[in-house]
Amino acid sequence: MRQVFAKVAAGMSLAAGNGWEALARRGPVLWLTLCGAFLVAGIFIVTAMAVGEFRERTLANRERELENTVKLIARHSDQQFEDSDVVAADLIGQMNLPEITSPAMFRERLSGPAANQMLRSKMSSVSYLGDIAIYDAEGELINWSRAQPLPKINVSSRAYFKTFKLNPQSEPVLLESVRSFIINKWTTIVARRLNGADGAFLGAMVRRINPDSYQHYFASVALGEGTAISLFDREGKMLARHPHREELIGRNFRDAPLMQKVLAQGGHQSHRGNSPIDGEERLGSAASLKHFPLVIIATNTTAAALADWRQQTGFLVATAALSAATIALILYLIIRQINRQNREAQQRIEAERLRLDTALNNMSQGLILYDAGGTIVTCNRRYADMFGLSHDVIKPGCHIREAMYHRKERGAFDGDVEAFCADVMRVVAEGTVSTRTHQLANGRAFQVINTPLAQGGWVATIEDITEQRNLEQERDRNYTFLREIIDHIPSRITVKDARTRRYLLANQVAGQQLGETSKTIVGKTAFDLYPAETAGIITRDDDKLLQSPDGLFLDEHVWTTPSIGRRYITSTRIGIRDRSGEPRYIINVVEDVTERRRDHEKIAHMAHYDALTDLPNRALFREQIECELEKVAEGGQFALLYIDVDEFKGINDSLGHHVGDELLKAIGGRLRGCLKQGDLIARLGGDEFAVIQTDIGSSADVLSFVKRIYQAIRQPYHCLGHQLSTDASIGIALAPQDGADLDQLVKNADLAMYGAKAEGRRTHRFFEPAMDASAKARLSMEQDLRQALVNGGFEIHYQPLVDLRTNEVSGCEALLRWRHPERGMVSPAEFIPVAEDTGLINELGDWVLRMACNEAATWPAHVRVAVNVSPVQLKCDTLALRIAGALAASGLDPRRLELEITEAVLIRDDEAALSILHQLRSIGVRIALDDFGTGYSSLSYLKRFPFDKIKIDRCFVADIAEASGSPVIVQAVVNIAAASNMTTVAEGVETEAQREMLRTLGCTQMQGYLFSAPKPASEVRKLFGPSDGLPVAAVA
């Protein structure tokens, strides 16, 4: 439609307006006339320029010819003079001048017939020499090559002779133009000085150059009519000329311009100007002879030089005139034909205008044609009717601004008129087709297309697109709605052309799976997006769909994509055909079931394998044991090994679970490496592993296998930058002798492992029946402990600490006692380890702490209470809070509470323990280091944490009074404590000798049966009376 409007506008523009019509009629004629005039003028200008160029070229050519001529004559003349010099030199040689000693002898020898014959012979060999004469020292002629007897001639008046006679240093050869005394004509003579043996002047030999020889030679090289060639001496005197003019010979032309140039500058010179001889305009060229003081000048009249040029000029002028006349005639005929065609075109335009007006006014679109200035050339009625405009305003001659302001008044435009018009004209000036959409306040929408015209101006078409726009908006809303639905479907959906197999649509899932966007997929084929093998499968399935009679194809297969690799998919293809039944579209809905399948596989794997080490878990391991037990029934034998990693908990707590996990994976890998074909391994949980050693013959096979396990486990580990080492406790149960059913065998292997741990870890134990009884007893004790906590079966006894300086009770240590209803008093050494292993120690410790604080609150203010803290308790982050709560509840001053810890606490996890100790110190309680000296790093801990008290272990006190005892060690400890302001307590003091030795060594306090055994609270209070300072013996 846009092209149609453009063509219509182009047709209208030819007929629009009287000015356009006049231009259409007169424009070509005017241009042709102007072109013809310019062409004729150009012909004459070019002809004039060519004539001038030819004239200048002709004169330049003649100047070059004259220059060549004078050069030729100069070379010829130089050669002749050189030849005459040779003749003269030969004559002088024959004269034997060195032998002549006087002028008389010279006259005598050179005046005779022999000398004359010599001169004649030389003259016969050089035709251009006129003659040769010899003069004596007085200038008298004594011999002549022409005739005898000699005429009476004296040349002593000649200038050259005077120079020879008066100036001994003059040039030996002189040239002069003179009128000859012999022939009475102007001639050129060449005189040579003749000297005797002593250099005295004897005379002169004179050669005369015949002027006629020059004139004949000049005539032979002359360039034709108007040419003159002359010979001059250096004084400007003419010596010879062609054509010959006697009156000019001997005349001086030194002031002539060409002569001045050649005499001043030498070489070859040219000149244009009037001749000083005949007054005609001439071209001249001059050259000086190289070896003689002569000048050759050749001239040619300008008229003679331009004779050929005048003939060419006449031909050129005639040709130009004929061409101009021809062009004028042709232009006349063309203009007449154009005028006739214009009249016929005008008639056709009128008819076309009527047709165009009818077509324009019946168009459904509005149309306006503007000229380059924005003035309406023509418009149809539809434009005014669309906007309700007045036909009196919107008509040819109305400017676009006026039209737009009229529209604004009628409510058909609500923008800025000036900005709108400026923008339209700017875009049109750029030659760009522009499309604009205007929406009125009433909801109607119009599309305006401005199409620039090649001859200037533009055509605007206006179409009411209200209904079309509503349909498009509805279509876009539907498309967006459907697109939103498709993009949010979790399956991959694509639509492709059934013929080209190129994708026409793809949802977001398709883009994500293919590593593309839904837009970049469009236009590509499967071979552009997939590996060749996968693309081939897709094409094959598309072919199957198109061959299917029901237009449906289902498939499930493995699929490889560039971005996410190998996938499991289910594919549903639907074929859409056109009205003729031909395939048009292929819709493909692909569901990725990879994750679903992987989840199923992962769930199945997780049900039987440990997530951390990927070893079989307890459930799968039990199934494997069941299988092996079935083989035992057929006569086989195997060993079940339970493996517990020693000290793993400390590593896990101190370095973090991530390091612990890496260690467990490394241990699992090493255990797997110890297996032989048929052996089985599992991780049961935590730091416990289990191994089935199959096909064993005896316990020796098991021991060999255990040895390999220890060798593997005990090698250093490198886990996340940490170098670790560990060991294991291994329990072994043999089937069938240690159990023929699954649960019994597993329980026995577990008991054997605990037996190995009870023996100090880092070892192995085979199951023994006694282990079962021990396990049962331990289980019974654990149950009784729990019951005692509920029923209040525990008691606290207090053992006093005595100040060795004042013998007063300064404090008491709270000691836990268990009164079992059946077994009586149970030793703490029996139940405390069980409480620590089961975690009951935290509950027991809190109970002891609360009871001790409550009791100590009733004691005298100077008496402290000491409570032991288990390593298990110290690992609890809330220990400080619980102690603070007990102090607050009892009202006990924190400074009266001492907490006793053992070195084992610090050895296992010193950094964490020290952190908690600092928290306790911040509460205000005192910290005592119990059993000092029994560990291997006690001194280092004293440096790292400022303890309030050191308790010297009873092993150092027992033999302190003996000669081989430990007083030196105790003394060292006391000194260390004193230097750090710490109190020292000696444990296990039972004799007076021990007490005295401790007092002597400077120990601060003592504790032991020498003063008192541990007593219940009601009894220990009596020791705080007036007699508490007496050194009484212990009372059971």
**pLDDT per residue as tens digits for the range 572-607:** 889 888 888 888 898 988 887 787 777 887 888 888
Q: For residue 624, what are the CA distances in angstroms to 619, 678, 702?
A: 9, 11, 19
Domain-located, residue 753: yes
Which residue type, as a one-letter code, is found at position 922?
S
Among 719, 738, 767, residue at a domain's last position: 767
User: Are 143 and 195 in a shared domain?
Assistant: yes
- What mean pLDDT do residues 259-270 have? 77
User: Are 788 and 762 in a shared domain?
Assistant: no
- What mean pLDDT do residues 343-366 have? 76
CA atoms within 13 A on the CB side of 349: 20
Q: Give dist(CA 388, CA 390) in Å, integer.
A: 7
Q: For residue 937, what are the CA distances in angstroms to 50, 70, 357, 929?
A: 123, 130, 117, 12
Residue 608: its pLDDT value, please? 86
Give the least confident one: 300-314, 404-418, 816-830.
Answer: 300-314
Q: Give dist(CA 514, CA 521) in Å, integer.
A: 9
How many beta carbons lie within 10 A of that of residue 825, not counting itself?
10
Which residues, 6 or more positions from 156, have their beta carbon under 8 angstroms from its beta carbon? 138, 139, 162, 165
What is Dmax (Cα atoms) for the chain?
Answer: 199
Give the least confident one: 845-854, 912-921, 1022-1031.
Answer: 1022-1031
Residue 642: its pLDDT value, please? 94
- At 550, which CATH number? 3.30.450.20
User: Are 107 and 204 in a shared domain?
Assistant: yes
pLDDT in tens, 959-983: 887 867 788 889 988 998 888 899 9
- At 708, which CATH number? 3.30.70.270
Residue 68: its pLDDT value, please? 81
Domain-located, residue 472: no
User: Are 582 and 653 in a shared domain?
Assistant: no
Q: Give dist(CA 1036, CA 1013) in Å, integer.
A: 6
Residue 486: its pLDDT value, please? 80
pLDDT of 919 over the 80 cut: yes
* C-beta separation of 643 from 689 below 8 A: yes
Angle between helices 967-979 and 992-1001 (to 10 degrees): 40
pTM for the model stands at 0.40
Question: What's the pLDDT band for 548 if we cut at 50, 70, 90?
Answer: confident
More confident call, 477 vs 1006: 1006
pLDDT in tens, 821-859: 888 888 898 888 888 888 889 999 999 999 999 999 999
Angle between helices 113-125 and 18-95 (to 10 degrees): 160
Residue 1006: its pLDDT value, please? 95
Residue 8: its pLDDT value, please? 45
Beta bridge partners of 643: 689, 730
Domain-located, residue 468: no
**849: domain range?**
782-1025
pLDDT of 195 over the 80 cut: yes
Residue 24: its pLDDT value, please? 47
832: left (phi over 0), alpha (psi -120 to 50) or beta: alpha
Is the C-alpha dihedral spanning 882, 887, 888, 889 positive or negative?
Answer: positive
Question: What value does the CA radius of gyration of the chain take, rounded to a whole number of Å?
Answer: 71
**Alpha-carbon dihedral 919, 920, 922, 928, rounded to 10 degrees:** -130
User: Are 632 and 741 in a shared domain?
Assistant: yes
Among 540, 567, 598, residue at a domain's last position: 598
pLDDT in tens, 441-494: 777 888 888 899 888 888 888 888 888 778 877 877 877 777 778 877 878 889
User: Are 820 and 959 in a shared domain?
Assistant: yes
* C-beta separation of 989 from 1007 below 8 A: yes
* C-beta separation of 866 from 856 below 8 A: no
Question: What's the pLDDT band for 562 if we cut at 50, 70, 90?
Answer: low
Give the least confident one: 197-201, 361-365, 649-653, 819-823.
Answer: 361-365
- What mean pLDDT do residues 648-663 have? 88
Residue 885: its pLDDT value, please? 94
More confident call, 302 vs 972: 972
- At 795, which CATH number? 3.20.20.450
Name the token pair of 333: 């005929």
Q: Which 8-state DSSP code applies to residue 257? A: H
User: Are 819 and 864 in a shared domain?
Assistant: yes
Domain-located, residue 85: no
Q: Is residue 435 classed as helix, strand or coil in its secondary structure?
A: strand
Domain-located, residue 183: yes
Q: Give dist(CA 301, CA 278) in Å, integer.
A: 10
User: Are 573 and 642 in a shared domain?
Assistant: no
Q: Give dist(CA 354, CA 410) in Å, integer.
A: 30
Domain-located, residue 865: yes
Q: Which residue has the tokens 């109305």?
A: 398
Residue 324: its pLDDT value, please? 82
More confident call, 436 vs 350: 436
pLDDT of 397 over the 70 cut: yes
pLDDT of 1028 over the 50 cut: no
Q: Is residue 615 classed as helix, strand or coil in its secondary structure?
A: coil
User: Are 875 and 985 in a shared domain?
Assistant: yes
pLDDT in tens, 246-256: 777 778 887 88
- What mean pLDDT do residues 1005-1034 have? 76
Nearest residue to 493 (alpha-carbon basis) of 628, 400, 591, 585? 591
Residue 718: its pLDDT value, please? 93
User: Are 816 and 937 in a shared domain?
Assistant: yes
Measure the N-to-C terminal CA separation of the chain; round to a whole number of Å. 125
Q: Give dist(CA 526, CA 571) in Å, integer.
A: 15
pLDDT of 437 over the 90 cut: no
More confident call, 769 vs 942: 769
Q: How many domains does the chain have?
A: 4
* C-beta separation of 103 from 136 below 8 A: yes
Among 146, 180, 209, residue at a domain's last position: 209
User: Are 817 and 725 in a shared domain?
Assistant: no
Q: Which residues of 980-1002 are buried (b: 16+ CB within 10 A; e: fewer)?
A: eebbbbbbbbbbeebbebbeebb
Domain-located, residue 76: no
pLDDT in tens, 695-736: 898 888 999 999 999 999 999 999 999 999 999 999 999 988
Which residue type, as a one-letter code, is found at position 1007?
Q
Domain-located, residue 231: no
* Average of per-residue pLDDT values in the chain: 82
pLDDT of 107 over the 70 cut: yes
pLDDT in tens, 61-100: 877 877 788 777 777 777 667 767 777 777 777 777 777 8
User: Are 837 and 972 in a shared domain?
Assistant: yes
**% the chain with pLDDT above 90:** 21
- What mean pLDDT do residues 805-833 have? 91
